[in-house]
Structure 1
Amino acid sequence: MPIVSLTTDYGWKDPDAAAIRAGLYSEMLRHQVASPMVDVSHDVSPRNHQEAAYILGGAYKAFPKGSVHLMLIDCRPKVNHPPIAAMIDGHYFLTQDHGGLSLLFPGRQPDELVTIDMRNRLDLTDPGDIMTAAAAHVIAGGTISTLGPPRPQWNQLQSTHPEILDRNHAIVHVQYVDHFGQVVTNARETWLKEWQQGRTLKVLARGMVIDRFIDNLGEKMDPGSRYMRINDMGFLELGISWPGQHGVNTASNLFGLGLQDPVELQLR
């Protein structure tokens, strides 16, 4: 059974997340279909497409094929960023074409891509409402080819990449800070291994040294120990064992690192 997922920057305090869910249920009733709905996250930082791509990228593969993923970031009417529907990896992705899908699938193009055209529904003017109607159409068995004209490609957003300074030094950047305050860089395991070539890695974060690499979070560590690891999504993560609550004594807090901040890597 396909599932509908929601990833937004709406937050939980305002009514928008509830309204988009209710609108989706209403559209499914219109089509006389039903589908489970999963909130991936409504806590994406406002207009942060990189963060949304990281979060959804870590979740969508757990859903069954044929699922529909709504990524509603900076969702407002924009001529150059129309609502689009894409099919890739056996999943459907509905979003405004700000370029977020180019971050979710770097270097790839979808199997099918259309611009969503709902001019036959005069009651739909908001991009979020248009995409919920399109999602219900897909859940009901409709094809995305009937949602609008083909689109040659999605818009592109440029993300930061690791920068090699010399044989032993590189700069990477923070792309995500998780719920526990652990810091995820944009250094992929594949890139790191190619650059590292078996040498020992040391990380400098705002003058703090991190030189302990762990294979998994089950390794015994004293509370407050600094470590680095490759996380489940294949990125270099910097962490503190047994971090505190509410942002206190976390890796982000203690290392002084936030989104897009640079981190120095050294090899020896």
Structure 2
Amino acid sequence: MPIVSLTTDYGWKDPDAAAIRAGLYSEMLRHQVASPMVDVSHDVSPRNHQEAAYILGGAYKAFPKGSVHLMLIDCRPMVNHPPIAAMIDGHYFLTQDHGGLSLLFPGRQPDELVTIDMRNRLDLTDPGDIMTAAAAHVIAGGTISTLGPPRPQWNQLQSTHPEILDRNHAIVHVQYVDHFGQVVTNARETWLKEWQQGRTLKVLARGMVIDRFIDNLGEKMDPGSRYMRINDMGFLELGISWPGQHGVNTASNLFGLGLQDPVELQLR
């Protein structure tokens, strides 16, 4: 059974997340279909497409093939960023074409891509409403090819990449801070191994040294110990064992790191 997922920057305080869910249920009733709905996150930072791509990228593969993923970031009418529907990896992705899918699938192209055209539904003007109607269409067994004309490619957004300064030094950047305040960099395991070539890695985060690498979070550590590891998504993560709550005594707080901040890597 396909599932509908929602990833937005709407937050939980305002009514938008509830309204989009209710609208989707209404559209499914219109088609006389039903599908489970899963909130991936509504806490994406406003207009942060990189963060949305990281969060959805960590979740969508757990869904069954044929699932429909709505990524509603900076969702407002824009001529140059129309709603699109894409099919890739056996999943459907509906979003405005800000370029977020190029961050979710860097260097890849979809199996199918269309611009969503719902001019037959005069009651739909908001991009979010258009995409919920399109999602219900897919859940009901409709193809995305009937949603609108083919689109040659999605818009591109440029993300930061690790910068090698010399043989022993590189700069990476923070791309995500998780619920526990652990810091995820944009250094992929594959890139790191190629650059590292078996040498010992040390991280400098605003003058604070992190030189303990762990294989998993089950390793015995004293509370407050600094560590680095490759997380479940294949990125270099900097953390504190037994972090505090509400942003206090977390890696982000203690290292003084936020989104897009640089982090120095050293090899020896």
**TM class by smaller structure:** over 0.9
Query: How far apart are residue 199 of structure 1 and its match?
Result: 0.1
Structure 1 outlier segments of 4+, above 2 Å: none
Aligned residue runs from structure 1 range 1-268, under 5 A: 1-268=1-268
Query: How far apart are residue 115 of structure 1 and its match?
Result: 0.0
CA-to-aligned-CA distance 1:201-250 (integer Å, 9 cap, x gap): 00000000000000000000000000000000000000000000000000
Q: What SS does the aligned partner of 2:119 have?
A: coil
Q: What SS does the aligned partner of 1:6 have?
A: strand
User: For the residues of structure 2 that align with 1:243 and 1:79, how far apart are their CA atoms?
Assistant: 44
Query: How far apart are residue 134 of structure 1 and its match?
Result: 0.0
User: For the residues of structure 2 that align with 1:198 and 1:161, how far apart are their CA atoms?
Assistant: 21
CA-to-aligned-CA distance 1:168-225 (integer Å, 9 cap, x gap): 0000000000000000000000000000000000000000000000000000000000
* TM-score with structure 1 setting the length: 1.00
User: For the residues of structure 1 that align with 2:63 and 2:162, how far apart are their CA atoms?
Assistant: 30
How many residues get paired?
268
Q: What SS does the aligned partner of 2:21 have?
A: helix
Aligned CA RMSD, in angstroms, stands at 0.1
User: For the residues of structure 2 that align with 1:260 and 1:248, how far apart are their CA atoms?
Assistant: 20
Query: How far apart are residue 91 of structure 1 and its match?
Result: 0.0
CA-to-aligned-CA distance 1:4-56 (integer Å, 9 cap, x gap): 00000000000000000000000000000000000000000000000000000
User: For the residues of structure 1 that align with 2:126 and 2:232, how far apart are their CA atoms?
Assistant: 36
User: For the residues of structure 1 that align with 2:206 and 2:146, how far apart are their CA atoms?
Assistant: 52
Q: What SS does the aligned partner of 1:130 have?
A: helix
* TM-score with structure 2 setting the length: 1.00
User: For the residues of structure 1 that align with 2:163 and 2:238, how far apart are their CA atoms?
Assistant: 18
Query: How far apart are residue 265 of structure 1 and its match?
Result: 0.1
User: For the residues of structure 2 that align with 1:208 and 1:261, how far apart are their CA atoms?
Assistant: 14
